[in-house]
A and B are shown apart, each in its own frame.
Chain A
Amino acid sequence: MNWARATSGYDEIFDADGRPRPHYAPLISILESFTKEDVERRERLQRLALMNQGITFTVYGEKDGLERIFPFDFVPRIIPPAEWKTIQDGLVQRITTLNLFLLDVYHEQRCLTDRVIPAELVLSRTEYKRELLGLTPPKKVFTHVVGTDLIRDEAGEYLVLEDNCRCPSGVSYVLENRTLLNRVFPEFFASYPVRPVKEYPTLLLDTLLFVAPRPSQSPVVVVLSPGIHNSAYFEHSFLAREMGVPLVEGRDLLVEGNHVFMRRTHGKRQVDVIYRRIDDDFLDPLTFRRTSLLGVPGLINVYREGNVALANAPGAGVADDKAVYAFMPALIRYYLNEEPLLAQVPTYVGLRPDDFRYMTEHLDALVVKTTGDAGGYGMLMGPFATKAERARYLEVMKTNPGNYIAQPLVHLSSHPTHLDGRFEPRRIDLRPFILYGDRIRVLPGGLTRVALQPGSYVVNSSQGGGSKDTWVLAPREP
């Protein structure tokens, strides 16, 4: 077998001397026992399984052939127990802070009066929902499900790249990737104590039931999807199936007498908890975007009355804003009086004139992102952009500086990935999933996304990325 090593950034498998790190050694020797033909045959089986099971996602802006499979690489990413412990503790600390921050900005706004974060930065975000000021979600939970993106710097230290507090997606692939790898390369599992991930739907349902307004009444939980044309539709349907709850669209729900009901073949039934995979703006045309056909008229009123729980809570999006992110270390210190356990990427905030000047002068060294967008849309990779591209971007930036943040390019870590019969280093990130119910739980695993183009930093599925099974190892018995 042919293994190429990373030329820049941290190499997940090989150390500086080119030796495999100890937790990868068994995997490499198993892979070495396969012939090239074995591997190719297994890969064909794997592609067929993905196609036939309809494990696909939708790409916007393409015509009818919009279903695509999410490319899967069979070389698993392995995280040893000690590394995972740091990640887990850091994430719990972070999610606790995010939730405290949300409670604060929708109530007393202490962090604004104490100038921990500029008030205009928070209040000017479109994700900050004035309509919800003073409202406390059931059990004071805003961020029921969070997917936080982590990367590793040159030294291998994990850095938080961003938090996703709205409708983070990808967890269905975490589960499906495990099933797939188990089917295609069962030999891998014998040498490793891999922590299971299949508990996730049960944990998610527990999380949702925890916030039900009528806990004694065997609450009705539903998953609310924008419908089949949404890029994450497979996941919506997958989670509904796995939890055994109805998958609904806006048109299936109606509001009557300050309660939410679903329309059924034999009369309507009250709904208690909505795991909504629709953005705030589309939830309720009477409160937010008037033209939305995806939502449920009157839903926010029912929520206001405490007769339905929404997960994640409306308004939670302000916490994962890319400009708010820059203040997370300060917020952790402010609310918890602790030092952040996970580092993050230095961030320039366009709203601060000095930062913005720096950004305009160093565009060729920075990755610039718009604060509102997700999925890699609307960003500029300064070091890889042409002069003309940078100039064009700069013109647009100047019209609304507050809409931009910038970060130095971090050389994401690389992981061997099987491409055309060779194991090539490709850049990866990691999105663990965190559930906030009666306590905070981090799923031992996550979505490892991989940039399939050589040298590329863009791992988003919408931009041609793939994914890997992610193994968190259980501590071995002494």
Chain B
Amino acid sequence: MILSRVGDALYWMARYLERAENVTRLLLVTEEVATEMVGLDEDLARAEWNDLRVIFPSPDGDGEPPRRANALAALALHELSIDPRHPYSVFFSLKKARDNARTVREALTIEVFVNLNETYRELEGYNRRQLADRPTFRDALAATHRGILSTAGAIEQTLARDPGWLFLKLGESLERVFRTAVVLRVKLPALVSPEHSVDLPLFHSRWRGLLRGLSSLENYRKVHGARMEPADALEFLLFDPHTPRSLRYGTATVKDLLDQVSGASALSLPARVMGKLAAELAYQGGDVLRDDQCLLFLDHVLGELGRAHETLSTTYFGT
């Protein structure tokens, strides 16, 4: 068993590390998708960046965003990569992950800390002017992405499977499934509305972007092949039992971890919340995919995930 404060710090360290990975990946994907789109349909390119800024909102709401897609892109790329004040910037998340790691170094291994610290320091070395150059930007963010993955690898390879480990994995999987739900909730209204289905190649490339943004495109193709069918893609992201970023896989993982934390016999409050949600996702039929049903269902999922986080914190961290 571990100190409540240590459990809390490990949980948040993993959440922030996972968040940093998500923001990095979504930035890289959005940048690529929008770059190709901007000449064909500037509004669509602009919408991609807008979505990203809704998924990762700035706290001050910062007034009217630029009207041109490229200007908006430059703004979003800066604020979500290295802006130290933006609560969803990769830098901010990595800093928080590292701050938490520093308070519990005794619960980590040197490999985990060094990987995290190196990744943070490398990103810290960039300034706005350097990152305004797109190839430099891609290169820097790709390096950050590798660094985050190698930190996750060090966690996997070197840490003892003790209660601290369970809280790390809980932070990681809760953040992951929560982010999938948010991304779907923000992007779905435009993707299912009929008006954009006119230009099919463009429409499909947006769906592919969604799958890639949730690192699920390759996994989707293994199941459904290269043909892009929006209904299949949506069902895959919600209900696929094997891809790590589907809602079903994510909730089941969180539930398993909570069961391990509380022990086989005891049923904790957060385990109860997540058990019901995991069952819903495992046994839910395709009817929920229809029209506005899906958005309501996503709102429900988001609410329950929030409840799981709150009950988890009060049960184990005393916060």
Contacts and interface: CB of A to CB of B under 8 A. Distances in A.
B195 interface: no
B315 to A, nearest CB: 8
B3 A54 contact: no
Nearest to A64: B84
Given A246-B6, A249-B5, A252-B4, A265 B317 contact: yes
Interface in A228-258: 228, 233, 237-238, 240-241, 246-249, 251-252
Given A52-B114, A53-B117, A54-B117, A267 B102 contact: no
A240 B106 CA distance: 6
B3 A252 contact: yes
A265 B7 contact: yes
A51 B4 CA distance: 29
Contacts of A476: none
Interface string B1-41: 11111110000000000000000000000000000000000
Contacts of A54: 102, 105, 113-114, 117
Contact of B1 (A241, A247, A267): A267
B61 to A, nearest CB: 26
Interface residues on A, range: 20 to 34
Interface in B146-181: 163, 167
Given A52-B121, A246-B6, A252-B4, A265 B105 contact: no
Contact of B3 (A227, A228, A237, A263): A263
A270 to B, nearest CB: 13
Contacts of B117: 51-54
Which of B3, B105, B117 counts the most A-chain CB atoms under 10 A from its CB? B3
Contacts of B163: 265-266
Given A246-B6, A249-B5, A51 B121 contact: yes
A226 B38 CA distance: 54
Contacts of A247: 104, 106
Nearest to A227: B103
Contacts of B105: 54, 237-238, 241
A52 B1 contact: no
A264 B113 contact: no
A227 B104 CA distance: 10
A53 B117 CA distance: 7
Contacts, number: 65
A265 B106 contact: no
A97 to B, nearest CB: 35
Nearest to B6: A246
Contacts of B102: 54, 228, 233, 237
Contacts of A107: none
A228 B101 CA distance: 11
Contacts of A233: 102
A237 B102 CA distance: 9
Contact of B5 (A51, A241, A252): A252
B122 to A, nearest CB: 10
B118 A52 contact: yes
Nearest to B11: A265
A262 interface: yes
Given A52-B121, A53-B114, A264 B4 contact: yes
A269 interface: yes
B110 interface: yes
B63 interface: no
Nearest to A67: B102
B114 A262 contact: no
Interface in B94-139: 99, 102-106, 110, 113-114, 117-118, 121
27 contacts: A51-B121, A52-B114, A52-B117, A52-B121, A53-B114, A54-B105, A54-B114, A228-B102, A228-B103, A237-B106, A241-B105, A247-B106, A248-B3, A248-B5, A251-B5, A252-B4, A252-B5, A263-B5, A263-B318, A264-B1, A264-B4, A265-B167, A265-B316, A265-B317, A266-B1, A266-B163, A266-B316
Interface of B: 1-7, 99, 102-106, 110, 113-114, 117-118, 121, 163, 167, 261, 316-318
Given A52-B118, A264-B1, 7 more contacts: A53-B113, A53-B117, A237-B105, A241-B106, A248-B3, A252-B5, A266-B1
A-B pairs, top 8 by smallest CB distance, nearest first, are A240-B106, A241-B106, A265-B316, A265-B7, A237-B105, A264-B1, A247-B106, A266-B1
